[in-house]
Amino acid sequence: MAQIGYSEKVMEHFMNPRNVGTIENPDGYGKVGNPVCGDVMEMFISVEDDTISDIKFRTFGCGSAIATSSMVTELAKGKHIDEAMEITRKDVADELDGLPPRKMHCSNLAADALHGAIEDYKSKKVGK
């Protein structure tokens, strides 16, 4: 049967998003999207021994944009940065029991924001 609307998991993450907020002086920061398209996500990470010890997000976008952001923070927390870099958009969607087809692209930028934050951390580390 074709999927109608959002999965229960998407709605659950939309209603109770994990890890909402910001981190002061984060080790890495990533931001993707733009308000014209209707999706902006920012991701803050704290890193200890190349492992993501804390992660927070803020998102402007539709229900699935919030759910994917929340899910990606759950997936990344506690992971080594190399492992976290391998989290794909598809992983996030799968973990949420799927997204409606037309939402696959625009609202599923959360993995990109995470990767951006990790890249930011890596570039700062090189600079130190």
Partner 1 sequence: MRQIYLDHASAMPIDPRVLEFAKRYVTNDFGNPSSLHSAGLTAKRAIEDARQRVAELINAEDETCIIFTSGATESNNMAIKGTALRNIRKGKRVAASAIEHISVLNPAKEFQKSGFELTLIPVDQTGIVDIGKLADILTEDTTVTSIMYANNEIGTIEPIQEINEIVHEKGLYLHVDTTAAAGRIPIDVQNDGIDLLTLSSNDMYGPQGCGALYIKPGVKLQPVLPGGGQERGLRSGTENLFAIAGMGEAARIAKDEMGQESERLKGMRDKLIDEISKIEESYLTGHPTQRLPHHASFRFSRIEGENILLNMDMYNIQVATGSACTSRTLEPSHVLLAVGLKHEEAHGSMVMTLGRSNNAEEIPIITKAVKETVQRLRMLTPM
Q: Output the six-digit token pair for 35.
A: 């308000």
C-beta of residue 96 within 8 angstroms of C-beta of residue 71 = yes
Work out how close the CB of 45 gets to partner 1 at its nearest, in angstroms, rounded to a whole number.
15
Q: Is 23 in the site for partner 1 (CB under 8 A)?
A: no
Q: Is 112 in the site for partner 1 (CB under 8 A)?
A: no
Identify which range of 11-19, 45-53, 78-86, 116-124 contacts partner 1 by CB under 8 A: 11-19
> Do 85 and 24 meet the contact criterion of CB atoms below 8 Å apart?
no
Smaller CB separation from partner 1, 43 or 92: 43
Judged by CB, which is closer to partner 1: 19, or 75?
A: 19
- 30: nearest Cα among 17, 19, 41: 41
What would the x/- binding string for partner 1 be over residues 43 to 82, using CB under 8 A?
---------------xxxxxx-xx----------------
CA distance 80 to 17: 23
Cβ at position 49, least distance to partner 1 in Å: 28
Residue 93 to residue 106: CA distance in whole angstroms: 12
Q: Which C-beta is closer to partner 1: that of 6 or that of 121?
A: 6
Active site residue 62: no
Give the Cα-Cα-Cα angle 49, 50, 52 (nearest 5 degrees): 105
